[in-house]
Amino acid sequence: MAAAVDHVVAVREAAGPDVDLCIEVHGRLAPAWAIEMARRLEPFRPLFYEEPVPVENLAGLVKVARTIRIPVATGERLCTKFAFQEILRLDAVDVIQPDLCHAGGLTEVKKIVATAEAGYVQVAPHNASGLVGTATAVQLDAVIPNFLIQEYFVAQASWIDDVVLGGPRVVHGEIVVSDRPELGVDLSEEAAAVHPFQSSSGERASSTRADRPGSERHRELEAEHDRVRRPARPARIDDVLDVRLDLEPGGHLDDVSPLEDQLVVLGEGARSPL
């Protein structure tokens, strides 16, 4: 515990007083230890304290939230509006973190967000996805009044811009919401085929014998990739509904549209883009 506090001290000293620190516990502490850790971290003014106890321990979460003086965040592993309703009803959270890929997509998460808004609870969408996931989350952020901060991955594959064109970029802690159609990004299926999915063991789980590296088909794909540097088609809503966001086919996103010239603030505390 002392070593963890030392790390936070080092980050606060290096970043200065104006940078928000988000403390990720990942549900690994018992309530008593989560409370003690929060007491030690309080002087460093964290923006929030994420998943202090296991997500299924609602009684423990309530105990922590009512004892400590740091805002509590949770929700990346909750998959329905009913689960979020329970933690909101118990007043066990200050910041919810729905993941668009887990909690039903844009339409469903907007319902969750509205429930949180009624309880003065802010939203920091969880996002462990790539550029398409980030682009989708940004569309949500731009149209909700209780948006706080957006998680995104800085490190991406070196070839990601060949596959996802027009992906969101962070500049001075902000993302400009795209005014392009739908999610604002384009997908190149030819480029994606050159970089098939690899399992944690390094195997190309999605490749067939015919398109593995060294095969004639793989050489054809690489040649096509070199020749065609434009996207095959715009990213469609169906890509997100059927694959990324786990919604049923035929869902609609009519109530979520790009907003021109709106900024999503990532690192400057609680600010609404609206």
Catalytic machinery residues = 26, 126
Tokens of 130: 């790539």
Two tokens, residue 28 = 């690994």
Q: Which of 49, 78, 44, 80 is nearest to 65 (CA)?
A: 49
C-alpha 114/C-alpha 146 separation (Å) is: 9
Strand bridging mode 48-50 / 164-165: unpaired
Distances (CA, A) of 105 to 26, 84, 87, 242: 23, 15, 20, 10
- Length, in residues, of the chain: 274
Structure tokens at 101: 């890929």
The CA distances from residue 9 to 19, 226, 264, 274, in Å, are 13, 48, 28, 34
Report the C-alpha gap between 62 and 87 in whole angstroms: 8
Ordered DSSP codes for 211-254: GSTTSHHHHHHHHHHHH--S-SEEPPHHHIIIIIS-PPTT---T
Q: Encode burial over 139-148: b for 16+ CB neighbours within 10 A, e otherwise.
A: bbbbbbebbb
Asked if 24 and 11 touch (Cβ cutoff 8 Å), the reply is no
